[in-house]
Amino acid sequence: MQPFEYASPKTLKEALPLLGSSWADAAVLAGGTDLLSLMKEGVVNPKRVVNIKDIAELKGVAKAGSGVRIGAAVTLDELLSSPLLRAYPALTEAARGVSGAQMRNMGTVGGDLCQRPRCWYFRAGFGLIAKHEGKDLVADGDNRYHAIFGDGPARFVSASSFGPALVALGAKIKVASVSGTREVDAAKFFVAPASADAREAAIQPNEIVTEVVLPGAATKNATYEVRQKDALDWPLATASVALTMKGASVGSAMIVLGHVAPTPYVASDAGSSLAGKTITAASAEAAGKAAVAGAKPLSMNAYKVQLASTAVKRALLAAAGVKA
Amino acid sequence: MQGIGVTGAVSPALLQEEAVAQSAAGVMGPGAVPVTLTLNGKVVKVTVEPRETLLDVLRNNLDVTGVKRVCDRGTCGACSVLVNGKVMYGCSILAIDVQGKQITTIEGFALTNGKPHPVVEAFVNNDAQQCGYCTPGFVVAAKAFLDHNPNPTSDQVKDGLGGNLCRCGTYMGVRKAVLEAARVMKGGSRG
């Protein structure tokens, strides 16, 4: 790690002026599980590190109108023990998928959203687009864990565990800077970068994610993750779904895939195909197939298409409480 | 830096001065600064750079070597420590970040008046180690797990210790040891 200045402000007001106008000026430190690794690898070398764990405004899970507000510095362990989140299994299942007590005790909600991609070319210093001497490292190289959707140029997958669930639930992400606060739809928070200079989240260097706001839980929702191993790892494919029911049938459905594209991937056709239907093994499987219809796998990751399709089917069945 | 209001005419030296003046508000480093830790119930003082991890400060400055440096990337669990009773990766915490918190390493609880902690004893009884390098991390994680889950099932043990890796593959022995320790800690027998 390169040397850096350190500050541990106690309020958001103290913290915000400590950030800079470029990513090299300052980095926000919460759980540290991603940032410290990135700094050890020299992928990021901030001049200053601002610890936000001791800022009271960023803590706590509380009712907010008909919904729930989750502070950005809430740990996964705290999230899992909150009784207010029982109506949001899409979110809590995603948190449960993050294995290991250490990671759950350290990792935070804001950190999950802001963690950098796990793409090994990115982690080795080749940037988000991973081009080197004119070569497309992902397309020509080992792409077993990369995107199966999109036309590039970025082919990493969004690392966030909560992203797909928050998009499916219609959550909003609040962000603060010295010039004020703003609210971003979860669906717009994640961005597929078009160039090596762009970023994968709609956040500026002088901003801090302060909280996540979940709307009232009017949906049946669930997340299903497919993982290679039980221990600490990122999923191969996930699906988060939220169903607004009209009696026994689906009024509207949000189906969002994770770890298949540089952002959570909204399978809108698959979602609208469920309107008016009841969730059965057959309708869930058909929706799973529809969700991956546009997949364009790379040379080594066609296997993820089936995983994503099955994740959708199982998430739908879990949300509807149907045993297949 | 934010809010300095730089114009083209400002000299770099002046800029630096202003930056230093601004950093007076609670900004420390990048050079070594005094750091006070509460380690195994005792207050200890070190002088370290903000970039030094708790793992490295424990091993290199305080000779507390039960924490091991293996992956150094928050994955293997060999550096497990307790911070306010919760298990965390020492390699992924800055030492300067845990001032005022209770830090417990295996040295803090493995032996009480020469008597081994039930988790330590159960690891011996169940051959829950081979090369032993991951063992202190497993014992720390197991103690924290049992403190919060006194009546675990085998599956809960597996999930609870999912943040620790053993490349010798002693997982079955470790799980048996944790279940035995749970029985002993409740006043039951080993078997």
Establish if B78 belongs to a structural domain.
yes
Per-residue pLDDT of chain A (324 residues), as tens digits, is 999 999 999 999 999 999 999 999 999 999 999 999 999 999 999 999 999 999 999 999 999 999 999 999 999 999 999 999 999 999 999 999 998 999 999 999 999 999 999 999 999 999 999 999 989 999 999 999 999 999 889 999 999 999 999 999 999 999 999 999 999 999 999 999 999 889 999 999 999 999 999 999 789 999 999 999 877 789 999 999 999 999 999 999 999 999 999 999 999 999 999 999 999 999 999 999 999 999 999 999 999 999 999 999 999 999 999 986
pLDDT(B169) > 90: yes
Phi, psi of A47 (to 5 degrees): -75, -25
Which among B48, B81, B107 is the end of a domain?
B107
**Distant-in-sequence contacts of B116-125, Cβ < 8 A, 24+ apart:** B117/B143, B118/B181, B118/B184, B118/B185, B119/B143, B119/B146, B119/B177, B119/B178, B119/B181, B121/B181, B121/B184, B122/B177, B122/B178, B122/B180, B122/B181, B122/B184, B122/B190, B123/B173, B123/B174, B123/B177, B125/B177, B125/B180, B125/B190
Mutation for testing the B interface, residue in A39, A102, A178 having most B CBs under 10 Å? A102
Instruction: Report if residue B15 sits inside a domain.
Output: no
Q: Which site among B92, B147, B167, B178 would you substitute to test the A interface, given the most A Cβ atoms closer than 10 Å to its Cβ?
A: B92
Searching chain B, which residue's CA lies closest to the CA of residue A23?
Answer: B1
Query: Do B132 and B175 belong to one domain?
Result: yes
Does residue B28 form part of some domain?
A: no
Residues of A in contact with B27 (CB under 8 A): 5-7, 18, 48
Q: pLDDT tens-digit profile of A5-23?
A: 999 999 999 999 999 999 9
Q: Which among A5, A8, A100 has CB closest to B163?
A: A100
- List the one residue out of B77, B85, B92 whose CA is nearest residue B144: B85
Domain limits at B151? 111-185
Q: What span, in angstroms and rounded, lies between the C-alpha atoms of A292 and A255?
A: 11
Q: Which of B109, B125, B132 is nearest to B178 (CA)?
A: B125
Q: What is the pLDDT of residues B66-79, one digit of tens each?
A: 999 999 999 999 99
Give the span between the Cα atoms of A142 and A251, in whole angstroms: 42
Q: Are residues B124 and B103 in the same domain?
A: no
Cα A252 to Cα A254: distance, rounded to the nearest angstrom: 7
Q: What is the pTM of this model?
A: 0.93
Is B14 a domain residue?
no
Chain A positions touching B77 (Cβ under 8 A) are: 100, 102
Question: Would you place residue B21 in the very low, low, confident or very high pLDDT band (cuts 50, 70, 90)?
Answer: very low
What is the distance in angstroms between the Cα of B149 and the nearest Cα belonging to chain A? 12
A70 to chain B nearest CA, in Å? 21
A5 vs B29, B74, B97: nearest CB: B29
Yes or no, beta carbons of B91 and A36 under 8 Å apart: yes
Pair A178, B3: CB distance under 8 Å: yes
Confidence (pLDDT) at A278: 97
Q: What is the ipTM of this complex?
A: 0.94
Nearest to B49 among A3, A8, A29 (CB): A3
Q: Which residues of A touch B (CB under 8 A)?
A: 1-9, 14, 17-21, 25, 29, 31-33, 36-37, 39-40, 48-49, 51, 53, 77, 99-103, 105-106, 178, 206, 230-232
pLDDT per residue over A276-289, tens digit each?
A: 999 999 999 999 99
Same domain, B94 and B147: no
The 10s digit of each residue's pLDDT in A239-296 is 999 999 999 999 999 999 999 999 999 999 999 999 999 999 999 999 999 999 999 9
Whether B24 has a pLDDT exceeding 70, the answer reads no
B30 and A3 Cβ atoms separated by less than 8 Å: yes
Position B41 in a domain: yes
Question: How long a stretch of residues is chain A?
Answer: 324
Confidence (pLDDT) at B18: 42
Looking at beta carbons, which residues of chain B come within 8 Å of A42? Answer: none
Each domain of chain A, given as residue ranges in start order, spans 1-324
Residue B2 placed within a domain: no
Do B76 and B94 share a domain, yes or no? Answer: yes
Among B107, B132, B160, the domain boundary falls at: B107
Residue of B161, B92, B90, B154 lying closest to A99 (CA atoms): B161
Domain harbouring B172, CATH code = 1.10.150.120
> Count of domains in chain B?
2
- Residues B85, B120, single domain; the answer is no
Chain A residues with beta carbon closer than 8 angstroms to that of B97? 8, 29, 32, 51, 53
CATH code for the domain in which residue B54 is found: 3.10.20.30
Tell me how close the Cα of A88 comes to any Cα of chain B, in angstroms.
22
Residue A115 with chain B: CB contacts under 8 Å: none
pLDDT, residue A152, reads: 86
Q: Do A31 and B92 touch (CB under 8 A)?
A: yes
Residue pLDDT, tens place only, B113-122? 999 999 999 9
- What is the C-alpha to C-alpha distance for residues A57 and B8, in angstroms, rounded to an integer? 38
Q: Examine the fold and report which residue of B107, B129, B149 is the final residue of a domain before the chain moves on.
A: B107
Phi, psi of A120, rounded to the nearest 5 degrees = -70, -25
In this prediction, residue B25 carries a pLDDT of 67
**B99 and B116, same domain (yes or no):** no
B155 shares a domain with B123: yes
- Nearest C-alpha in A relative to B142: A101
Which CATH number is associated with domain A1-324?
A: 3.30.465.10
